[in-house]
Amino acid sequence: MTQPIPLPQLRPGQQGIIVRVDGYGLPRRRYLELGLVKGETVCAERVAPLGDPVAYRIKGYTLSLRREEAEHIHVVPLP
């Protein structure tokens, strides 16, 4: 099995499976409510011109996260 990486390390077009959501309290709850749960497939779609935020596709919708927020989500990249 491939080593988990932080979500921002996915390149546009690359997919990964969420294996861990770090944090606690309201930020963690927000991630879970947005569908960032263990076992879900997420795809990096595009990066803003200045590099932040990054758009991700999960559960059929597009979600924009700042890199600082996305660092709390760990994924295993799919080949």
CATH of domain 5-77: 2.30.30.90
14 pLDDT more than 70? yes
- Computed over every residue of the chain, the mean pLDDT equals 91
Long-range contacts of 53-56 (CB under 8 A, 24+ apart): 54/8, 56/7
Average pLDDT over residues 23-39: 88
Structural domain boundaries of the chain?
Answer: 5-77
Tokens 């059929």 belong to 60
What tens digit of pLDDT does each residue of 33-66 get?
888 999 999 999 998 888 789 999 999 999 999 9
User: Does residue 1 have a pLDDT over 70?
Assistant: no
